[in-house]
Amino acid sequence: MAAISPQHTFDGEMFSAPLVHTDSNLLSCIEPDYKPFIPGNSLRRMTRVLKMGLTTALKCMQDSGLGTPGPIVTGTGKGSLQDTEKFIREIEQYKETALNPTPFIQSTYNSVNGLIALQLKCTDYNNTFVHRGFSFENALLDSIMLLAEGAANTLTGAFEEMTAEHFYIKSRIGFWKTTPTDSSALYSHSSPGSVAGEGATFFALTATPTPKSYAAITSFRMLYKPTAAKLTAILQQYREGVDLVINGRNGDSNHEHYYQAADTVLTGIPQLPFKHLCGEYDTAGAFGLWMAAHLLRSQQIPTQWFPSGTKLPAQINRILLYNHFYGEQHSVIVLEKT
């Protein structure tokens, strides 16, 4: 696994590095030095999310020890916004003539996948899912089906970036809080909207566990606009034997009732939220999955990330991850220690 996020996740400093927080209502990624991963001649053309996505994928493959990946499957809600914005701006500026090819090519959602495949010389199955809050989850579902059909492994991930322009557009439709909110105190500010985030997260999934495996995904459900009864029934079905719940709570009072319903069903099981670490974005669920898998393998919690002093179990064998994107796309994933 590998993750570039607003926290110090890329270089393995998560247990020692301090919690990164902001009151700008936008949690931006801490970017690594890309030069050890991407040749300079390729790097010069890439915009931010392409560098983030490609580097995370390469680090993930290094971490997995698997060599060349099989299928490459990703999810993104928006793809490269920087390239999309540049391309659209130039259409207007140059009256639809003399347009640079690069921003157009890179504005397509599957460009990160293409770059990964080119750099790793991988000619296997290659697919990118673009389904708003279900983008990563559909990539995960496709990967699970590929593994069930015989693929030895998949490189599965998600990437998202936030730009000033997109932040402004989303703020106009009520996605973000209207007053500066410290991300470390996100859950105590129950008001409409959340704080924006971004990130790139990749997983090497295998059909059978390897010595390097972090965790096993044992159950997975996607629910589109579920009724309270449906959501409650699904959570009830999966709560058996769960030691810890990781939830996608984001301080947004418009959709908090789903998490409150989950609290009722999951009473007695300790819970940890993750959106104060990565912010809210279409594929934030991938960060939640990354965190859950890390906790299962390390059996440790980065205490500086969760100062509230939640009482945690001595052993974490099974984690339930529940997340939703603005009340529409809900996902429930159960992970177990391998």
Q: What is the binding site for another protein (CB under 8 A)?
A: 40-41, 44-45, 94, 97-102, 105
Q: CA-to-CA distance for 158 and 24, rounded, in angstroms?
A: 24
- Residue with Cβ nearer another protein (97 or 308): 97
- Residue with Cβ nearer another protein (90 or 124): 90
- Residue with Cβ nearer another protein (96 or 240): 96
- Residue with Cβ nearer another protein (102 or 171): 102
- Closest contact distance (angstroms) between CB of 45 and another protein is 7
Torsion angle, alpha carbons of 107, 155, 222, 161, to 10: -30
- Closest contact distance (angstroms) between CB of 11 and another protein is 23
- Residue with Cβ nearer another protein (16 or 97): 97
Half-sphere exposure of 291 (CA within 13 A, CB side): 32
- Per residue in 59-95, is it b (16+ CB within 10 Å) or e — as a string? bbbebbebeebbbbbbbbbbbbbbbbbbbeebeeeee
- Closest contact distance (angstroms) between CB of 83 and another protein is 13
- Closest contact distance (angstroms) between CB of 334 and another protein is 44
- Closest contact distance (angstroms) between CB of 46 and another protein is 9
Q: In degrees rounded to 5, what are phi and psi of residue 132?
A: 45, -120
- Residue with Cβ nearer another protein (100 or 210): 100
Structure tokens at 263: 């609290």
CA angle 231, 203, 193 (to 5 degrees): 45
Half-sphere exposure of 32 (CA within 13 A, CB side): 26
- Closest contact distance (angstroms) between CB of 54 and another protein is 16
* 16: amino acid identity, one letter: S
- Map residue 234 onto helix, strand or coil: helix
